[in-house]
Amino acid sequence: MTHLRSDHEYLPLEAVNVDGRRQNIMIGVSYGDPVYFSLRFLGDEVDFSIEAPDAFAALNAARAKFEPQGWRFLCNGARRDCFAFGAQIRADLGEQVFQLKPGKPAARDDLLNIFMPAEAGMVGTLAEQRAFFDDWLKA
């Protein structure tokens, strides 16, 4: 399990658009109550910032803002098969997600840092991620 957390971090990520464009982005996260999250599309000077109860909620707010424009963030927090929930989200302020395996309960060994890179084929929309989580709950 990779654990990157400090009180304040700046992390490079990449975003891909449904039209194939790729864009480097930089996120900033300050862990506290609330979590402060900022995102910048490098080169375009497009900024987004929000205060949220946890990092996963903040990332999802950014995704909700940029998904209609076709952007997908290439990180574990945006993977279809990953979700933060339960006591874990409170314990680490939403910094980790469970990689969900159909028919198997979530375990500590399944935790991934939300801001670590993920392949484009693994990420999806908020709706796809939520549908995977709902299906996993039913299994």
Query: Where residue 8 falls among pLDDT bands split at 50, 70, 90?
Result: confident
C-alpha–C-alpha distance, residues 92 and 103, integer Å: 25
* Closest listed residue to residue 3, CA positions, set 40, 43, 31, 32: 31
Global confidence as pTM? 0.91
C-alpha–C-alpha distance, residues 23 and 100, integer Å: 28
Contacts 24+ apart (CB under 8 A), 28-34: 29/55, 29/58, 29/115, 31/5, 31/6, 31/7, 31/55, 31/93, 31/95, 32/7
Return the number of other C-beta atoms located less than 10 Å from residue 26's C-beta: 13
Reduced to 3 states, what is the DSSP secondary structure of residue 57?
A: helix
State pLDDT tens for residues 43-76. 888 899 999 999 999 999 999 999 999 999 999 9
Query: Where residue 35 falls among pLDDT bands split at 50, 70, 90?
Result: very high
Question: Residue 24: what pLDDT?
Answer: 96
State pLDDT tens for residues 101-117. 999 999 999 999 999 99
